Structure 1
Amino acid sequence: MSTVISVNEKGAIKRDSMEYIVRSGIAGGISGSCAKSLIAPLDRIKILFQTSNPHYAKYSGSLHGLVKAAKHIWTQDGVLGLFQGHSITLARIFPYAAMKFVAYEQIRSILIPSKQYETHWRRMMSGSLSGLCSVFITYPLDLIRVRLAYVTEHHHVKVRFVIKQIYHEPASTTLLSKGYIPTWFAHWCNFYRGYTPSVLGMIPYAGVSFFAHDFLHDIFKLPYLRPYSVVPLSAEQDKERRKKRQKLPLRTWAELISGGLAGIASQTAAYPFEIIRRRLQVSSLSTRNMYSHKFETIPQIARIIYKERGWRGFFVGLSIGYIKVTPMVACSFFVYERMKWYLGI
């Protein structure tokens, strides 16, 4: 059975207009929320593995361990334990995904104003810059989410408690010791602990993700694949599509494959930075730092990881990452592209 997609009768909406920005933001926010809800249990287990939580370290390194960890959480905390910290995830992911897709559309229109400018590096640059914009705005919420997922004692699992804990931790910035910034601002900087590797990881992650997705779209729209991969449109629907300057919509299976493969490629490229970021985010909770008030730098964290497990330590939980990221990115791009179509952009 062929997919049927309806169109409205309005003309094209200018890409730089507020109406386009709002609509693309809504489409992006909804797509991100759907994708994160789909893989929330895997996300929590992955964080526990990445941060070497002492209660779950014995399960890391295999898919069998993933199942055991899920059973352990289910036994200890019930089904809600698998979604611990998810409310913060949703509060973060809607503005994050909205900003990411809005920024991508706007930056892409600047770097690629017409077809003749459509090159691989411009696509990758558009994705990387959009990722940087979104991560800067929503990073504090991501840090709170990771802390909530890391804590295993129920009486400590409260958003207010975690926020106070982060704020009152010794400020890790050197600008405070030199008197360049006030104390209160330095403590607010605690909410950006691990931000640098996030930025470094976002460059390949978002860049590769958007590039791979668009590249696979091009492949599926080649003449010999188009009859099978593109949604058939009537003459009237195609006329409306051209009028609105909308892309040809892919069939469900093709869109999901494009998103899934894009997720695998981006996860592989950025995973070592994600490992370092997670360790930095919970470094103040470790015994050696809790009383010494010392905070590891990125090179120190990297050396610790390498000393513990060698180069494989930078890819701990990657198999779970693939299981998580493939449906997540596939769902995200699928919902976003469909929402764009229904919203007429």
Structure 2
Amino acid sequence: MNAASDTSSGRENHLKKGSKVSPYEALIAGSLSGAIARGIIAPLDTIKIRLQLQIQGYDTYKGASKTFVSICKNEGVKALWKGNVPAEILYILYGAIQFTSYSALSKALSEFEKNNRNLFTISNSTHSLIAGSGSGLASTFFTYPFDLLRTRLAANSEAHFLSMSSTIKSIYEMHGIGGFCKGLTPGLLSVASSTGLMFWSYELAREFSNNYKDVIPFLEGFCGFIAGATAKGLTFPLDTLRKRIQMLSKTRDIDQNSIKAIQLCKTILKNEGIFGFYKGFSISILKSAPTSAISLFTYEYSLSAIKEFTSKHKKL
């Protein structure tokens, strides 16, 4: 049996160690996965950001459902898609870079293991963890300014919509080029660990679904949900820290000089306690689980379609 085949459904697991995916295939499938995932979960993302950015004593929103009602009532239903333009660009670029770099790193890691097989071997899940973490670093590094813009626009609670151009101008005038990199360090740590854990848990879930496919039908369909929930659950405080730093210039009770992540951690702990890092956690899980599921599902099936299309045209 091919190392990358999936016995549970007869389709190939393109993320498993040993799978063969070309750069252009990963690029196209990754872009599609990002675009589709973002289009579906945009409102949940806006609600999550609003809850994450609340400071103790200025709590405007009380829970996900009330936040949803408040936004629709005070800003209109369209406000749930605030920041969607940079977010779509972010997700498309992120998906493309993430899966392309994952494929490249996975291939390089397999070659490295092959050349050193007398010294050690790497399990499938560990392989996915390493390649996933590396792909998270690469994709975050190259798309971070769009993440910052998405956060700024989605956090705007005014009835009017801020334009992307005016937001870019405002950030540049206030902080210069460096303003577009606020929160990059915790962002890299957050996304690298989250992405690595997502691919790791996805691989473990796929292996588990293969072993118990006769006992628990349709388990494979939940692998993406399990991966997303696991990754977000373990890395959420870093995500909150990243969002807070991105909005630091608009935060009322945090000194502008306290931009370092450690200083901000102390401020959050002092003013809000440990739960300050978990604001918006429930809606984040509700968002991350389907996002990962949709992203991984779209990537896998897009690749299958691309490979089938390419194979048919080669025969012509």
- TM-score band by shorter chain is 0.7 to 0.9
TM-superposition CA deviations, 1:243-279 (whole Å, max 9, x none): xxxxxxxxxx444310000001100121110111111
Are 2:79 and 1:81 equivalent residues in the alignment?
A: yes
Give SS of 1:153's match.
coil
Q: What is the CA distance between 1:161 and its match in structure 2?
A: 1.0
TM-superposition CA deviations, 1:11-37 (whole Å, max 9, x none): xxx947xxx211211111111111122
Q: What is the CA distance between 1:296 and its match in structure 2?
A: 2.2
Residue 237 of structure 1 corresponds to which residue in structure 2? none
Are 2:275 and 1:312 equivalent residues in the alignment?
A: yes
Q: What is the CA distance between 1:214 and its match in structure 2?
A: 1.2
Residue 217 of structure 1 corresponds to which residue in structure 2? 206
Q: What is the CA distance between 1:329 and its match in structure 2?
A: 0.8
Are 2:129 and 1:140 equivalent residues in the alignment?
A: no
What is the letter of the counterpart of residue 227 of structure 2? A
Instruction: Give the counterpart of 1:157 among 140, 153, 162.
Output: 162
The answer on whether the counterparts of 1:56 and 1:69 sit within 8 Å (CA) in structure 2 is no
Q: Quote the Cα distance in structure 1 between the aligned partners of 2:158 and 2:55.
A: 12
Instruction: Determine which structure has more spread, i.e. the larger CA radius of gyration.
Output: 1
TM-superposition CA deviations, 1:169-216 (whole Å, max 9, x none): 14xxxxxxxxxxxxxxxx212101000001111232011000111111
TM-score scaled by structure 2? 0.83
Identity %: 29
Instruction: Give the counterpart of 1:262 among 216, 227, 234.
Output: 227
RMSD, aligned CA: 2.7
What is the letter of the counterpart of residue 110 of structure 1? A
Of 321-330 and 307-316, more deviation after overlay is shown by 307-316
The answer on whether the counterparts of 2:109 and 2:127 sit within 8 Å (CA) in structure 1 is yes
Are 2:93 and 1:95 equivalent residues in the alignment?
A: yes
Task: State how many pairs are aligned.
Answer: 288
Q: What is the CA distance between 1:132 and its match in structure 2?
A: 0.3
Give SS of 1:169's match.
helix
What is the letter of the counterpart of residue 222 of structure 2? I
Change (3 A) 1:255 1:339: farther
Give SS of 1:323's match.
helix
Q: What is the CA distance between 1:127 and its match in structure 2?
A: 0.4
What is the letter of the counterpart of residue 311 of structure 1? I
The answer on whether the counterparts of 2:197 and 2:231 sit within 8 Å (CA) in structure 1 is yes
The answer on whether the counterparts of 2:102 and 2:134 sit within 8 Å (CA) in structure 1 is yes
TM-score scaled by structure 1? 0.76
Give SS of 1:122's match.
helix
Instruction: Give the counterpart of 2:61 among 59, 62, 70.
Output: 59
Give SS of 2:240's match.
helix
Are 2:108 and 1:110 equivalent residues in the alignment?
A: yes
Q: Which runs of 5+ in 1 are unaligned?
A: 8-13, 171-186, 230-252
Change (3 A) 1:29 1:54: farther
Q: Quote the Cα distance in structure 2 between the aligned partners of 1:56 and 1:36.
A: 29
1:292-311 equivalences in 2 (<5 Å): 294-311=257-274
The answer on whether the counterparts of 1:255 and 1:334 sit within 8 Å (CA) in structure 2 is no
Change (3 A) 1:295 1:303: closer
Residue 179 of structure 1 corresponds to which residue in structure 2? none
Residue 282 of structure 1 corresponds to which residue in structure 2? 247
TM-superposition CA deviations, 1:51-83 (whole Å, max 9, x none): 1179982424xxxx2111111111222221111
Q: Which runs of 5+ in 2 are unaligned?
A: 1-7, 13-18, 309-316
Q: Quote the Cα distance in structure 2 between the aligned partners of 1:198 and 1:324.
A: 18
Q: Quote the Cα distance in structure 2 between the aligned partners of 1:218 and 1:190.
A: 43
Are 2:188 and 1:199 equivalent residues in the alignment?
A: yes
Change (3 A) 1:161 1:122: same
Give SS of 1:191's match.
helix
The answer on whether the counterparts of 2:125 and 2:201 sit within 8 Å (CA) in structure 1 is no
What is the letter of the counterpart of residue 128 of structure 2? R
The answer on whether the counterparts of 2:41 and 2:291 sit within 8 Å (CA) in structure 1 is yes
Q: Quote the Cα distance in structure 1 between the aligned partners of 2:221 and 2:293.
A: 5
Are 2:33 and 1:31 equivalent residues in the alignment?
A: yes
Change (3 A) 1:111 1:4: closer
Q: What is the CA distance between 1:297 and its match in structure 2?
A: 1.2
Change (3 A) 1:4 1:313: closer
What is the letter of the counterpart of residue 135 of structure 1? T
What is the letter of the counterpart of residue 157 of structure 1? L
Change (3 A) 1:270 1:54: closer
Q: What is the CA distance between 1:219 and its match in structure 2?
A: 1.6
Residue 180 of structure 1 corresponds to which residue in structure 2? none
Q: What is the CA distance between 1:163 and its match in structure 2?
A: 0.3
Residue 307 of structure 2 corresponds to which residue in structure 1? 344
Q: What is the CA distance between 1:156 and its match in structure 2?
A: 5.8
